[in-house]
Amino acid sequence: MTLINLKRDGTRNSPWQSLSSPAARVKPEDKIYDCLIVGAGITGMTAALLLQKAGKATIITEAHNTGFGTTGGTSAHINTFADTTYSEAESAFGEEGAQGFADAINEGFELIKTNIDTYGIKCDYEPKTGYLYAENDDEVKMLDEIYQGATKVGVPVKYTDEVPTPVPFQRALAFDGQAQFHPIKYLKGLQKAYLEAGGALLENTLVEQIVTEDEIHIVQAGKNEIRAKNVIYATHMPPNINVFNFECAPYRSYVLAVKLHSGKYPDGLIYDCQEPYHYVRTHVIDGQELLLIGGLDHKTGHEEPEKAFDDLEKYARKYYNVSSVKYRWSSQYYVPVDGLPYIGRMPLTANGIYCATGYNGNGMMLGSIAAKILVDLVSGKGSKYEKLFNPGRIKPIDGFSEFVKENADVAYHFVADRLNIKSTDSLNRLKPGTGKVVEVDGNKIAAYRDDDGTIHALSPVCTHAACIVSWNSEEKSWDCPCHGARYDIDGNVLTGPATRGLTTISNDEN
Ligand SMILES: Cc1cc2nc3c(=O)[nH]c(=O)nc-3n(C[C@H](O)[C@H](O)[C@H](O)COP(=O)(O)OP(=O)(O)OC[C@H]3O[C@@H](n4cnc5c(N)ncnc54)[C@H](O)[C@@H]3O)c2cc1C
């Protein structure tokens, strides 16, 4: 197996992220910006371009580099349907809510197309048909509900007997007018247009906190002080402790890019209805046709990433004539407790602070429309989606059981992580290349032994909300099972909501 994408910092690059470019540091000016955007993924970059083009002085700060976050780890399907089905949206938010959700998804989709046309972005954009198939009676029932929900909100869908999949199925739907693209080529295209329009961008700049004085938001970003009238948290999950820690659950999702012996790659975006599900699609990367196979999502820090990859590969080899696995990577998304994203004014913060989160696996369209909504709010225009996606909403119907389920799990980790601290593991049994939370002299430490035998010892207490991190053997990272913060082997923050790294512990063995 030729794997080409493991980096030392705890991330596995997706094929999109191998498209590198020098770090952008456009120094902030000594002025009050109209808007500071934190995070350079699809949400932040789309919003930045819209604002800058509308004549608003805009600056982006990004903790790592453009596309480092989930936009760089996505599988880049552009759809007219979503993980929260339109019938689920209707049962929670009524007919009007389901229609609003469908309209927002569609507008996000259209905005991507408009940007590609307007700025001439070459990003492998290709229209495709989407297929969803059911393999048993329960899934058939689910499929029928999806059909009815989509039809009701005017999303084109039809039953089909033809699906380009080797998997036997009972019933299937075809959604015409879907698409796929290369997300980083798209993001870099937006970035180019944004910089050409005079926008500022500071990469490698983590925002830890924002202070508000006389309605101006002030951020200490390294040596620079940035002042802005408005702030948009486009960080996927807003940093530090906030209401979304209790309204969104972090999930990791896995993708393989494989080569086939037979050379017969399916044409379409193909999904099953299993729980957890699988999907496949084809993409030509660097002139090489590859089959992308993804899914097997689970809550961050709760299951073995190595097993997820193994199971995904077994699935791939069962149905396709795989010759080699070229890439494997995983990334994180957030499931909102009531099914719809949170986009708008950030609750419990000063005026002029906005955020967007809880896109589920649909952030290409929802991140794009979130950008449009937030830009309209920053510009004082209001938005027709303001009420539906209001981050401060009290959910109208049902959903409470889900809320309790997700939070019971977080509460479990707060308590269980502390009680179950009697570990028999010790540092000297830790093999090179592995990590574990071990107990040494009555203290719990997150220990990783590198290939040279050196131990990297950290406090295992997540700096976000003090849960205990778990070792992710596949990505060589420490992942928090409560709210999804992630750290590299030296404790540096990879993924929020944490903004401070894990504390380093010196140990006798080194
Ligand atoms: C495996 C996988 C497959 C997916 N497939 C699809 C798909 O096919 N179609 C689809 O529509 N959606 C898909 N999604 C979801 C979609 O990729 C995401 O919803 C979307 O990329 C989120 O974009 P974003 O810009 O909001 O966040 P991100 O892309 O995560 O960007 C946020 C940025 O903020 C930065 N940041 C965070 N905290 C700070 C801070 N304190 N200071 C400064 N910077 C900070 C991060 O470094 C990051 O670069 C998938 C998700 C996963 C995990």
**How far apart, in whole angstroms, are the C-alpha atoms of residue 67 and residue 69?**
5
Alpha-carbon span 98 to 85, nearest angstrom: 9
Q: Would you state the pLDDT for residue 418? A: 46
Q: Is 461 part of any domain? A: yes
Would you state the pLDDT for residue 6? 46
Mean pLDDT along residues 136-150: 98
For residue 426, the model assigns a pLDDT of 64
> Which range has the top average pLDDT, 100-114, 217-231, 481-495?
100-114
Give the count of domains, the chain: 1
Give the mutation target among 125, 236, 330 for probing the ligand 1 site: most ligand atoms within 8 A of CB: 236
Bridge partner list, 357: 342
Please give the pLDDT value at position 492: 94
Report how far apart, in Å, the C-alpha atoms of 466 and of each of 55, 213, 434 are. Answer: 42, 29, 23
Q: Are 102 and 154 in contact (CB under 8 A)?
A: yes
pLDDT of residue 277: 95
Question: Does the pLDDT of residue 146 top 90, yes or no?
Answer: yes
Lowest mean pLDDT among 39-48, 86-95, 259-268: 259-268
Residue with tokens 């809320």: 403
Lowest mean pLDDT: which of 48-57, 164-173, 466-475? Answer: 466-475
pLDDT 10s digits, 166-178: 999 999 999 999 9
Mean pLDDT across the stretch 272-290?
Answer: 95
Question: Do residues 479 and 472 make contact, with C-beta atoms less than 8 angstroms apart?
Answer: yes
Residue-averaged pLDDT of the chain: 90
Ligand 1 atom nearest residue 43's Cα:
25
d(C-alpha 496, C-alpha 222), whole Å: 18
Please return the burial class of 417, using the count of CB atoms within 10 Å of its CB with bins 0-12, 13-18 and 19+: buried
Instruction: Pick from 70, 111, 487 the residue to mutate for probing ligand 1's pocket: most ligand atoms within 8 Å of its CB.
Output: 70
pLDDT higher than 60, residue 338: yes
pLDDT in tens, 419-430: 343 344 567 788
Query: Using 50, 70 and 90 to split pLDDT, how confident is the model at 390?
Result: very high
- Distance CA(166)–CA(290), nearest Å, equals 17
408: CB partners within 8 A, 6+ apart = none
**Measured distance CA(32)–CA(37) in Å, rounded:** 13
**29 has a pLDDT exceeding 80:** yes
Q: Which domain holds residue 468?
A: 427-495
149-164: average pLDDT: 98
Across residues 265-288, what is the average pLDDT?
A: 95
474 occurs within a structural domain = yes
What is the separation of C-alpha 234 from the centre of its chain, rounded to a whole number of angstroms?
11
CATH code of the domain containing 477: 2.102.10.10
- pLDDT tens track for 61-76: 999 999 999 999 999 9
In a domain, 288, yes or no: no
- Decide: 333 in ligand 1 pocket, CB within 6 A: yes
- 321 close to 262: Cβ distance less than 8 angstroms: yes
Contacts of 75 (CB under 8 A, 6+ apart): 255, 279, 281, 292, 294
Give how far the C-alpha of residue 311 lies from the chain's centroid of Cα atoms, to the nearest Å. 22
The most confident of the ranges 1-15, 322-336, 452-466 is: 322-336
Task: Determine the Cα–Cα distance for residues 426 and 233; give it in Å rounded to an integer.
Answer: 41
Q: Is the CB of 10 under 6 A from ligand 1?
A: no
User: How many residues are listed for the chain in this entry?
Assistant: 510
Say which residue, 432 or 112, is predicted with more confidence. Answer: 112
Q: Output phi, psi for 284, to 5 deg.
A: -95, 115
pLDDT tens per residue across span 259-276: 999 868 999 999 999 999
pLDDT confidence of residue 227: 96
Q: Is the pLDDT of residue 85 over 80?
A: yes
User: How far is residue 173's CA from residue 159's CA, in Å, rounded to a whole number?
Assistant: 5
Residue 499's Cβ-count burial label (10 Å; 0-12, 13-18, 19+) is middle
Q: Is 408 left (phi over 0), alpha (psi -120 to 50) or beta?
A: alpha
| Domain membership flag for residue 481 | yes
Q: Is residue 485 part of a domain?
A: yes
Q: What is the pLDDT of residue 401?
A: 47
Q: Give the pLDDT of residue 438.
A: 85
Confirm whether 108 is domain-assigned. no
Residue 28, in any domain of the structure: no
Q: What are the C-alpha distances in Å from 180 to residues 77, 151, 284, 352, 382? A: 5, 23, 11, 34, 31
20 Cα distance to chain centroid: 20
Judged against a pLDDT cut of 60, whether residue 10 lies above it is answered with no
Would you state the pLDDT for residue 382? 96
Q: Kindly give, in sequence order, each residue whose CB lies less than 8 Å from that of residue 428, ignoring residues fewer than 6 positions away.
A: 509
Residue 113, in any domain of the structure: no
Ligand 1 contact, 279 CB (< 6 A): no
CA of 174 to the centre of ligand 1 (A): 27
**Is the pLDDT at 406 greater than 50, yes or no?**
yes
pLDDT at 294 over 60: yes
Q: Is the CB of 296 under 6 A from ligand 1?
A: no
